[in-house]
Structure 1
Amino acid sequence: MASHSIVKQFLAFCTGILLLAGSALSHAEAMPNTDQTQNLTSIRKKVEEFLTVQTAGYPGRVTVTAGAIDNNLKLAKCPALEVFMPQGSRAWGKTNVGVRCNAPAWTIYMQATVNVVGQYLVAAAPLAQGRVVDSGDLLFESGDLAQLPPGIFTDPEQAIGRIVNISMNAGTVLRQEMLKASPVVQQGQTVTLITRGKGFSISAEGHALNNATDGQLVRVKVANGQVVSGIARNGGKIEVSF
Protein backbone atom coordinates (compact mmCIF):
# COMPACT_ATOMS: atom_id res chain seq x y z
CA MET A 1 0.00 0.00 0.00
CA ALA A 2 2.83 2.38 0.87
CA SER A 3 4.44 1.63 -2.47
CA HIS A 4 1.17 2.32 -4.26
CA SER A 5 0.83 5.69 -2.44
CA ILE A 6 4.35 6.71 -3.44
CA VAL A 7 3.62 5.91 -7.08
CA LYS A 8 0.44 8.03 -6.99
CA GLN A 9 2.36 10.96 -5.43
CA PHE A 10 5.05 10.67 -8.11
CA LEU A 11 2.49 10.64 -10.92
CA ALA A 12 0.75 13.70 -9.47
CA PHE A 13 4.10 15.51 -9.27
CA CYS A 14 4.89 14.71 -12.94
CA THR A 15 1.44 15.89 -14.02
CA GLY A 16 2.00 19.21 -12.24
CA ILE A 17 5.33 19.67 -13.98
CA LEU A 18 3.73 19.02 -17.38
CA LEU A 19 0.92 21.50 -16.66
CA LEU A 20 3.41 24.19 -15.67
CA ALA A 21 5.49 23.54 -18.77
CA GLY A 22 2.44 23.74 -20.99
CA SER A 23 1.34 27.00 -19.40
CA ALA A 24 4.78 28.52 -19.90
CA LEU A 25 4.84 27.40 -23.54
CA SER A 26 1.42 28.93 -24.22
CA HIS A 27 2.52 32.19 -22.62
CA ALA A 28 5.69 32.25 -24.73
CA GLU A 29 3.69 31.69 -27.90
CA ALA A 30 1.30 34.53 -27.03
CA MET A 31 4.09 37.03 -26.45
CA PRO A 32 5.53 38.67 -29.62
CA ASN A 33 9.21 38.25 -30.28
CA THR A 34 10.40 41.81 -29.66
CA ASP A 35 13.79 41.02 -31.20
CA GLN A 36 12.05 40.60 -34.56
CA THR A 37 9.70 43.64 -34.46
CA GLN A 38 10.61 47.24 -35.30
CA ASN A 39 10.78 49.67 -32.38
CA LEU A 40 8.15 52.33 -33.13
CA THR A 41 9.95 54.99 -31.09
CA SER A 42 12.98 54.62 -33.36
CA ILE A 43 10.74 55.32 -36.38
CA ARG A 44 9.46 58.58 -34.85
CA LYS A 45 13.02 59.61 -33.99
CA LYS A 46 14.17 58.89 -37.55
CA VAL A 47 11.32 61.02 -38.97
CA GLU A 48 12.17 63.95 -36.69
CA GLU A 49 15.86 63.73 -37.63
CA PHE A 50 14.91 63.70 -41.33
CA LEU A 51 12.66 66.77 -41.02
CA THR A 52 15.29 68.63 -38.99
CA VAL A 53 17.71 68.24 -41.90
CA GLN A 54 15.04 69.20 -44.44
CA THR A 55 14.25 72.43 -42.57
CA ALA A 56 17.84 73.61 -42.09
CA GLY A 57 18.07 77.25 -43.17
CA TYR A 58 14.42 78.09 -42.59
CA PRO A 59 13.91 81.73 -41.43
CA GLY A 60 13.08 81.22 -37.76
CA ARG A 61 13.13 78.77 -34.86
CA VAL A 62 12.09 75.37 -36.15
CA THR A 63 10.50 72.63 -34.05
CA VAL A 64 9.62 69.24 -35.47
CA THR A 65 7.14 66.77 -33.96
CA ALA A 66 6.44 63.36 -35.43
CA GLY A 67 2.91 62.08 -34.95
CA ALA A 68 1.99 59.05 -32.84
CA ILE A 69 2.10 55.53 -34.28
CA ASP A 70 -0.50 52.93 -33.34
CA ASN A 71 1.11 50.71 -30.69
CA ASN A 72 -0.74 47.72 -32.12
CA LEU A 73 1.19 48.05 -35.37
CA LYS A 74 3.73 45.22 -35.71
CA LEU A 75 6.46 45.73 -38.31
CA ALA A 76 9.33 43.42 -39.09
CA LYS A 77 12.60 44.78 -37.75
CA CYS A 78 14.42 46.86 -40.37
CA PRO A 79 18.23 47.25 -40.51
CA ALA A 80 18.03 50.43 -42.63
CA LEU A 81 15.01 52.72 -42.34
CA GLU A 82 14.44 55.14 -45.24
CA VAL A 83 12.41 58.32 -44.66
CA PHE A 84 10.96 60.28 -47.58
CA MET A 85 8.46 63.01 -48.43
CA PRO A 86 5.48 61.66 -50.40
CA GLN A 87 4.64 63.48 -53.63
CA GLY A 88 2.82 66.73 -52.87
CA SER A 89 4.09 66.96 -49.28
CA ARG A 90 6.66 69.40 -47.95
CA ALA A 91 8.43 69.98 -44.66
CA TRP A 92 6.14 72.83 -43.58
CA GLY A 93 3.19 72.95 -41.15
CA LYS A 94 1.14 69.75 -40.88
CA THR A 95 2.56 67.28 -43.33
CA ASN A 96 2.84 63.59 -44.22
CA VAL A 97 6.06 61.60 -44.13
CA GLY A 98 6.77 58.12 -45.48
CA VAL A 99 9.00 55.50 -43.89
CA ARG A 100 9.98 52.36 -45.76
CA CYS A 101 12.13 49.31 -45.43
CA ASN A 102 13.49 47.46 -48.45
CA ALA A 103 14.32 44.19 -46.73
CA PRO A 104 12.02 43.06 -45.21
CA ALA A 105 9.70 45.12 -47.44
CA TRP A 106 7.16 47.44 -45.78
CA THR A 107 6.09 51.09 -46.00
CA ILE A 108 4.08 53.26 -43.63
CA TYR A 109 2.91 56.87 -43.75
CA MET A 110 2.62 59.11 -40.70
CA GLN A 111 1.79 62.68 -39.84
CA ALA A 112 4.24 65.26 -38.55
CA THR A 113 4.18 68.97 -37.69
CA VAL A 114 6.83 71.55 -38.56
CA ASN A 115 6.52 74.85 -36.68
CA VAL A 116 8.65 77.80 -37.82
CA VAL A 117 8.50 80.68 -35.37
CA GLY A 118 10.01 83.83 -36.84
CA GLN A 119 9.42 87.43 -37.87
CA TYR A 120 7.30 88.55 -40.79
CA LEU A 121 6.27 91.93 -42.19
CA VAL A 122 2.91 93.68 -41.80
CA ALA A 123 1.69 97.11 -42.87
CA ALA A 124 2.62 99.66 -40.20
CA ALA A 125 -0.19 101.96 -41.34
CA PRO A 126 -2.95 101.92 -43.98
CA LEU A 127 -1.37 101.66 -47.45
CA ALA A 128 -3.10 103.08 -50.51
CA GLN A 129 -2.96 101.44 -53.91
CA GLY A 130 -0.10 102.81 -56.01
CA ARG A 131 2.09 103.81 -53.05
CA VAL A 132 5.77 102.97 -53.29
CA VAL A 133 6.71 101.14 -50.09
CA ASP A 134 9.45 102.56 -47.88
CA SER A 135 10.90 101.37 -44.55
CA GLY A 136 8.40 103.43 -42.54
CA ASP A 137 5.51 101.43 -44.02
CA LEU A 138 6.77 98.17 -42.57
CA LEU A 139 6.50 96.58 -39.15
CA PHE A 140 7.78 93.24 -37.86
CA GLU A 141 5.57 90.76 -36.03
CA SER A 142 6.42 87.30 -34.71
CA GLY A 143 4.52 84.05 -35.10
CA ASP A 144 4.43 80.63 -36.68
CA LEU A 145 5.29 81.24 -40.32
CA ALA A 146 3.94 77.82 -41.24
CA GLN A 147 0.44 78.97 -40.22
CA LEU A 148 0.53 82.06 -42.46
CA PRO A 149 -0.52 82.29 -46.13
CA PRO A 150 2.19 81.61 -48.74
CA GLY A 151 4.26 84.44 -50.20
CA ILE A 152 4.87 86.43 -47.00
CA PHE A 153 7.80 88.84 -46.63
CA THR A 154 10.43 88.20 -43.95
CA ASP A 155 13.04 90.75 -45.11
CA PRO A 156 12.35 94.49 -45.56
CA GLU A 157 14.58 94.55 -48.64
CA GLN A 158 12.08 92.23 -50.31
CA ALA A 159 9.30 94.83 -49.95
CA ILE A 160 10.96 98.28 -50.04
CA GLY A 161 10.56 99.95 -53.44
CA ARG A 162 7.60 97.80 -54.47
CA ILE A 163 4.24 99.31 -55.41
CA VAL A 164 1.10 98.63 -53.38
CA ASN A 165 -1.16 96.57 -55.61
CA ILE A 166 -4.30 96.75 -53.44
CA SER A 167 -5.15 99.15 -50.62
CA MET A 168 -4.81 97.57 -47.17
CA ASN A 169 -5.32 98.32 -43.48
CA ALA A 170 -2.63 98.63 -40.82
CA GLY A 171 -1.54 95.24 -39.52
CA THR A 172 -2.22 93.43 -42.80
CA VAL A 173 0.26 90.61 -43.38
CA LEU A 174 2.16 91.56 -46.52
CA ARG A 175 2.24 88.98 -49.31
CA GLN A 176 3.81 88.86 -52.74
CA GLU A 177 0.57 89.45 -54.65
CA MET A 178 -0.14 92.62 -52.63
CA LEU A 179 3.06 94.39 -53.70
CA LYS A 180 4.26 94.47 -57.29
CA ALA A 181 7.83 95.15 -58.26
CA SER A 182 8.61 98.65 -59.49
CA PRO A 183 9.70 98.82 -63.14
CA VAL A 184 13.39 99.44 -63.64
CA VAL A 185 12.70 100.43 -67.25
CA GLN A 186 9.84 102.69 -68.42
CA GLN A 187 8.34 102.73 -71.89
CA GLY A 188 10.07 105.42 -74.00
CA GLN A 189 13.06 105.59 -71.65
CA THR A 190 16.54 105.84 -73.16
CA VAL A 191 18.37 102.68 -72.17
CA THR A 192 21.81 101.18 -72.63
CA LEU A 193 22.00 97.92 -74.52
CA ILE A 194 24.88 95.72 -73.39
CA THR A 195 25.56 92.91 -75.80
CA ARG A 196 27.84 90.15 -74.56
CA GLY A 197 29.29 87.23 -76.43
CA LYS A 198 32.26 84.98 -76.15
CA GLY A 199 35.21 87.30 -75.66
CA PHE A 200 33.45 90.60 -76.47
CA SER A 201 31.06 93.20 -75.06
CA ILE A 202 29.33 96.00 -77.02
CA SER A 203 27.25 98.92 -75.71
CA ALA A 204 24.64 100.93 -77.61
CA GLU A 205 21.68 103.20 -76.87
CA GLY A 206 18.06 102.62 -77.66
CA HIS A 207 14.51 103.34 -76.48
CA ALA A 208 12.44 100.91 -74.41
CA LEU A 209 9.15 99.89 -76.01
CA ASN A 210 7.58 98.60 -72.78
CA ASN A 211 7.84 98.77 -69.00
CA ALA A 212 9.81 96.00 -67.30
CA THR A 213 10.87 95.05 -63.79
CA ASP A 214 14.29 93.70 -62.97
CA GLY A 215 14.78 90.40 -64.79
CA GLN A 216 11.84 90.84 -67.17
CA LEU A 217 12.04 90.84 -70.95
CA VAL A 218 12.00 94.27 -72.61
CA ARG A 219 11.93 95.24 -76.29
CA VAL A 220 14.28 98.04 -77.39
CA LYS A 221 14.38 100.05 -80.64
CA VAL A 222 17.92 101.02 -81.65
CA ALA A 223 19.10 103.88 -83.90
CA ASN A 224 18.82 101.94 -87.18
CA GLY A 225 15.19 101.05 -86.42
CA GLN A 226 15.88 97.47 -85.51
CA VAL A 227 14.01 96.05 -82.48
CA VAL A 228 15.92 93.75 -80.16
CA SER A 229 14.92 92.04 -76.91
CA GLY A 230 16.90 91.80 -73.69
CA ILE A 231 16.68 91.47 -69.91
CA ALA A 232 15.95 94.64 -67.93
CA ARG A 233 18.34 95.53 -65.13
CA ASN A 234 18.56 98.37 -62.63
CA GLY A 235 20.02 101.61 -63.93
CA GLY A 236 18.35 101.42 -67.35
CA LYS A 237 20.61 98.65 -68.59
CA ILE A 238 19.41 95.94 -70.96
CA GLU A 239 21.37 92.70 -71.22
CA VAL A 240 21.45 91.01 -74.62
CA SER A 241 23.34 87.75 -74.95
CA PHE A 242 24.39 85.74 -77.98
Structure 2
Amino acid sequence: MKLPTLTALLLVCSSAFAQQPARQDLNQLKLTVEQFLQSQVAGMAGQISVAVGPIDQRMSLAACPQPQAFFMPGARAWGKTTVGVRCAAPSAWTVYIQANVSVQADYVASAVPLAQGQPIEMSQLVMVRGDLTTLPAGVATDINQIIGRSSNVSLAAGTPMRLDTLRSKPVVQSGQLVKLVSGNASFRVSSEARAVATASEGQMVAVRTASGTQVTGIARAGGLVEVTF
Protein backbone atom coordinates (compact mmCIF):
# COMPACT_ATOMS: atom_id res chain seq x y z
CA MET A 1 0.00 0.00 0.00
CA LYS A 2 1.30 3.38 -0.95
CA LEU A 3 1.94 5.63 2.06
CA PRO A 4 0.83 9.28 1.90
CA THR A 5 3.55 11.80 1.33
CA LEU A 6 4.46 14.38 3.99
CA THR A 7 2.93 17.10 1.82
CA ALA A 8 -0.36 15.22 1.66
CA LEU A 9 -0.41 14.77 5.44
CA LEU A 10 0.19 18.46 5.96
CA LEU A 11 -2.63 19.30 3.58
CA VAL A 12 -5.03 17.00 5.44
CA CYS A 13 -4.09 18.47 8.83
CA SER A 14 -4.39 22.03 7.52
CA SER A 15 -7.80 21.27 6.06
CA ALA A 16 -9.02 19.76 9.34
CA PHE A 17 -7.73 22.73 11.31
CA ALA A 18 -9.37 25.16 8.91
CA GLN A 19 -12.72 23.41 9.35
CA GLN A 20 -12.70 23.84 13.15
CA PRO A 21 -15.14 26.60 14.18
CA ALA A 22 -13.69 29.76 15.73
CA ARG A 23 -13.94 29.93 19.51
CA GLN A 24 -15.29 32.81 21.55
CA ASP A 25 -12.73 35.14 23.14
CA LEU A 26 -13.55 34.83 26.86
CA ASN A 27 -11.91 38.17 27.63
CA GLN A 28 -14.46 39.74 25.30
CA LEU A 29 -17.26 38.27 27.44
CA LYS A 30 -15.73 39.87 30.52
CA LEU A 31 -15.57 43.22 28.74
CA THR A 32 -19.20 42.83 27.60
CA VAL A 33 -20.34 42.32 31.20
CA GLU A 34 -18.28 45.25 32.47
CA GLN A 35 -19.65 47.61 29.81
CA PHE A 36 -23.21 46.43 30.53
CA LEU A 37 -22.87 47.14 34.25
CA GLN A 38 -21.24 50.51 33.63
CA SER A 39 -24.25 51.49 31.52
CA GLN A 40 -26.61 50.38 34.31
CA VAL A 41 -24.94 52.55 36.97
CA ALA A 42 -24.51 55.64 34.77
CA GLY A 43 -25.80 58.68 36.65
CA MET A 44 -25.90 56.90 40.01
CA ALA A 45 -24.65 59.02 42.94
CA GLY A 46 -21.48 57.98 44.73
CA GLN A 47 -18.16 56.48 43.72
CA ILE A 48 -19.02 53.42 41.62
CA SER A 49 -16.71 50.50 40.97
CA VAL A 50 -17.47 47.40 38.90
CA ALA A 51 -15.56 44.13 39.27
CA VAL A 52 -16.30 41.17 37.00
CA GLY A 53 -15.54 37.76 38.45
CA PRO A 54 -13.18 35.23 36.86
CA ILE A 55 -14.35 33.25 33.84
CA ASP A 56 -13.60 29.54 33.57
CA GLN A 57 -10.91 29.40 30.88
CA ARG A 58 -11.84 25.78 30.12
CA MET A 59 -15.17 26.97 28.74
CA SER A 60 -15.43 26.53 24.97
CA LEU A 61 -18.02 28.56 23.09
CA ALA A 62 -18.54 29.20 19.41
CA ALA A 63 -17.47 32.70 18.39
CA CYS A 64 -20.26 35.25 18.53
CA PRO A 65 -20.11 38.54 16.62
CA GLN A 66 -22.55 40.32 18.96
CA PRO A 67 -22.85 38.79 22.46
CA GLN A 68 -25.66 40.42 24.45
CA ALA A 69 -25.56 40.96 28.23
CA PHE A 70 -28.77 40.86 30.27
CA PHE A 71 -30.12 40.63 33.81
CA MET A 72 -32.15 37.76 35.18
CA PRO A 73 -35.53 38.86 36.65
CA GLY A 74 -34.91 40.52 40.02
CA ALA A 75 -31.19 41.07 39.44
CA ARG A 76 -29.69 44.58 39.33
CA ALA A 77 -26.40 46.45 39.31
CA TRP A 78 -26.04 46.51 43.09
CA GLY A 79 -23.63 44.50 45.25
CA LYS A 80 -23.01 40.89 44.29
CA THR A 81 -24.93 40.17 41.11
CA THR A 82 -25.09 37.83 38.11
CA VAL A 83 -25.10 38.93 34.48
CA GLY A 84 -26.14 36.66 31.64
CA VAL A 85 -24.47 36.79 28.24
CA ARG A 86 -26.14 35.13 25.27
CA CYS A 87 -25.52 34.57 21.60
CA ALA A 88 -28.29 34.13 19.04
CA ALA A 89 -26.22 33.35 15.92
CA PRO A 90 -24.41 31.62 14.38
CA SER A 91 -24.55 29.30 17.43
CA ALA A 92 -26.98 29.84 20.29
CA TRP A 93 -25.51 29.75 23.80
CA THR A 94 -25.96 31.46 27.17
CA VAL A 95 -23.52 31.82 30.06
CA TYR A 96 -23.81 33.50 33.47
CA ILE A 97 -20.99 35.55 34.96
CA GLN A 98 -20.62 36.78 38.56
CA ALA A 99 -19.82 40.43 39.25
CA ASN A 100 -19.83 42.96 42.07
CA VAL A 101 -20.92 46.60 42.01
CA SER A 102 -19.70 48.79 44.87
CA VAL A 103 -21.20 52.22 45.66
CA GLN A 104 -19.08 54.31 48.01
CA ALA A 105 -21.12 57.24 49.36
CA ASP A 106 -22.02 59.12 52.54
CA TYR A 107 -24.95 57.90 54.62
CA VAL A 108 -26.57 58.96 57.90
CA ALA A 109 -25.83 57.08 61.14
CA SER A 110 -26.62 57.69 64.79
CA ALA A 111 -23.78 59.48 66.58
CA VAL A 112 -25.15 58.57 70.03
CA PRO A 113 -27.68 56.03 71.33
CA LEU A 114 -31.21 57.03 70.29
CA ALA A 115 -34.27 56.37 72.44
CA GLN A 116 -37.41 54.97 70.88
CA GLY A 117 -40.03 57.59 70.05
CA GLN A 118 -37.86 60.63 70.80
CA PRO A 119 -37.46 63.35 68.12
CA ILE A 120 -34.01 63.13 66.56
CA GLU A 121 -31.78 66.21 66.52
CA MET A 122 -28.91 67.06 64.17
CA SER A 123 -26.35 66.77 67.00
CA GLN A 124 -27.36 63.10 67.40
CA LEU A 125 -26.46 62.24 63.81
CA VAL A 126 -23.26 61.80 61.83
CA MET A 127 -22.39 61.29 58.17
CA VAL A 128 -20.38 58.13 57.48
CA ARG A 129 -18.78 56.96 54.22
CA GLY A 130 -19.19 53.36 53.20
CA ASP A 131 -20.39 50.88 50.60
CA LEU A 132 -24.15 51.37 50.34
CA THR A 133 -24.59 47.95 48.73
CA THR A 134 -23.56 46.26 51.98
CA LEU A 135 -26.08 48.21 54.09
CA PRO A 136 -29.80 47.55 54.65
CA ALA A 137 -32.18 48.93 52.05
CA GLY A 138 -33.56 52.42 52.64
CA VAL A 139 -30.54 53.91 54.42
CA ALA A 140 -30.79 57.72 54.46
CA THR A 141 -28.15 59.70 52.57
CA ASP A 142 -29.49 63.16 53.50
CA ILE A 143 -29.37 64.21 57.15
CA ASN A 144 -32.42 66.45 56.64
CA GLN A 145 -34.48 63.32 56.00
CA ILE A 146 -33.95 62.31 59.64
CA ILE A 147 -34.09 65.49 61.73
CA GLY A 148 -37.36 65.76 63.68
CA ARG A 149 -38.38 62.17 63.05
CA SER A 150 -38.25 59.41 65.67
CA SER A 151 -37.20 55.77 65.62
CA ASN A 152 -39.59 52.88 66.11
CA VAL A 153 -36.95 51.17 68.29
CA SER A 154 -33.99 52.25 70.41
CA LEU A 155 -30.78 52.44 68.40
CA ALA A 156 -27.12 52.05 69.37
CA ALA A 157 -24.53 54.62 68.32
CA GLY A 158 -23.23 54.01 64.81
CA THR A 159 -26.47 52.47 63.50
CA PRO A 160 -27.27 53.34 59.86
CA MET A 161 -30.53 55.30 59.78
CA ARG A 162 -33.18 53.52 57.73
CA LEU A 163 -36.11 55.62 56.55
CA ASP A 164 -38.56 52.72 56.83
CA THR A 165 -37.90 52.41 60.59
CA LEU A 166 -38.58 56.07 61.38
CA ARG A 167 -41.77 57.89 62.20
CA SER A 168 -42.42 61.19 60.48
CA LYS A 169 -42.22 64.42 62.42
CA PRO A 170 -45.62 65.13 64.02
CA VAL A 171 -47.54 68.09 62.60
CA VAL A 172 -50.27 67.76 65.22
CA GLN A 173 -49.63 67.04 68.90
CA SER A 174 -52.09 65.48 71.33
CA GLY A 175 -53.92 68.24 73.22
CA GLN A 176 -52.93 70.88 70.68
CA LEU A 177 -55.46 73.47 69.57
CA VAL A 178 -55.85 72.99 65.80
CA LYS A 179 -57.72 74.60 62.95
CA LEU A 180 -60.43 72.24 61.75
CA VAL A 181 -61.33 72.76 58.09
CA SER A 182 -64.33 70.87 56.73
CA GLY A 183 -66.35 70.91 53.54
CA ASN A 184 -66.11 69.89 49.91
CA ALA A 185 -65.34 71.40 46.51
CA SER A 186 -68.26 73.85 46.84
CA PHE A 187 -67.70 75.26 50.33
CA ARG A 188 -65.33 75.10 53.29
CA VAL A 189 -65.91 75.93 56.96
CA SER A 190 -63.17 76.37 59.55
CA SER A 191 -63.33 76.22 63.33
CA GLU A 192 -61.13 75.43 66.30
CA ALA A 193 -60.79 71.98 67.83
CA ARG A 194 -58.39 70.13 70.12
CA ALA A 195 -56.37 67.14 68.90
CA VAL A 196 -57.04 63.87 70.71
CA ALA A 197 -53.83 62.23 69.45
CA THR A 198 -50.49 62.99 67.79
CA ALA A 199 -50.22 62.59 64.02
CA SER A 200 -47.76 63.12 61.18
CA GLU A 201 -48.45 64.76 57.82
CA GLY A 202 -51.20 62.88 55.98
CA GLN A 203 -52.20 60.66 58.90
CA MET A 204 -55.74 60.41 60.23
CA VAL A 205 -56.25 62.08 63.62
CA ALA A 206 -59.23 62.53 65.92
CA VAL A 207 -60.10 66.00 67.22
CA ARG A 208 -62.75 67.27 69.63
CA THR A 209 -64.76 70.40 68.78
CA ALA A 210 -65.85 73.07 71.25
CA SER A 211 -69.26 71.37 71.50
CA GLY A 212 -67.58 68.10 72.53
CA THR A 213 -68.14 66.30 69.23
CA GLN A 214 -65.27 64.09 68.12
CA VAL A 215 -64.46 63.99 64.41
CA THR A 216 -61.63 62.51 62.39
CA GLY A 217 -59.62 64.30 59.72
CA ILE A 218 -56.29 64.38 57.94
CA ALA A 219 -53.40 66.07 59.74
CA ARG A 220 -51.64 68.80 57.80
CA ALA A 221 -48.63 71.02 58.51
CA GLY A 222 -49.27 74.14 60.55
CA GLY A 223 -51.73 72.55 62.99
CA LEU A 224 -54.40 72.02 60.37
CA VAL A 225 -56.88 69.12 60.23
CA GLU A 226 -58.96 68.57 57.10
CA VAL A 227 -62.36 66.86 57.05
CA THR A 228 -63.86 66.20 53.63
CA PHE A 229 -67.50 65.34 53.04
TM range (shorter): 0.7 to 0.9
Distance (Å, rounded) in 2 between the aligned partners of 1:147 and 1:98 = 23
Q: TM-score, normalised by structure 2?
A: 0.76
- 1:18-97 to 2 correspondence within 5 Å? 18-29=8-19, 32-34=20-22, 37-97=23-83
Which residue of structure 2 aligns with residue 3 of structure 1? none
Distance (Å, rounded) in 1 between the aligned partners of 2:226 and 2:67 = 50
Structure 1 unaligned regions, length at least 5: 1-10
Q: Percent sequence identity over matched residues?
A: 42
Q: TM-score, normalised by structure 1?
A: 0.72
Distance (Å, rounded) in 1 between the aligned partners of 2:208 and 2:84 = 55
- 1:136-147 to 2 correspondence within 5 Å? 136-147=123-134
Distance (Å, rounded) in 2 between the aligned partners of 1:203 and 1:61 = 53
Which residue of structure 2 aligns with residue 17 of structure 1? 7
Structure whose CA Rg is larger: 1
Q: Deviation string for 1:172-206 (max 9, x for gaps)? A: 33223553222223356424437775xx7846346
Asked if the contact 2:180–2:227 (Cα under 8 Å) also holds between the matched residues in 1, the reply is no
Kindly tell me the number of residue pairs found equivalent between the two proteins.
224
Distance (Å, rounded) in 2 between the aligned partners of 1:100 and 1:21 = 36
Structure 2 unaligned regions, length at least 5: none
Corresponding position: 1:131 with 2:121:
no
Mark the CA change 1:223 to 1:115 in structure 2 (over 3 Å): closer, same or farther: same
RMSD: 3.4
Corresponding position: 1:150 with 2:140:
no
Corresponding position: 1:100 with 2:82:
no
Mark the CA change 1:170 to 1:228 in structure 2 (over 3 Å): closer, same or farther: closer
Mark the CA change 1:227 to 1:71 in structure 2 (over 3 Å): closer, same or farther: same
Which residue of structure 1 aligns with residue 104 of structure 2? 117
State the one-letter code of the partner of 1:167: S
State the one-letter code of the partner of 1:55: V
Tell me the secondary structure at the aligned position of residue 200 of structure 2: coil
Tell me the secondary structure at the aligned position of residue 184 of structure 1: strand
Distance (Å, rounded) in 1 between the aligned partners of 2:227 and 2:131 = 43
State the one-letter code of the partner of 2:71: M
Asked if the contact 1:165–1:177 (Cα under 8 Å) also holds between the matched residues in 2, the reply is no
Asked if the contact 2:113–2:154 (Cα under 8 Å) also holds between the matched residues in 1, the reply is yes
Q: Deviation string for 1:127-157 (max 9, x for gaps)? A: 2333311111111221111112223221101
Mark the CA change 1:145 to 1:238 in structure 2 (over 3 Å): closer, same or farther: same
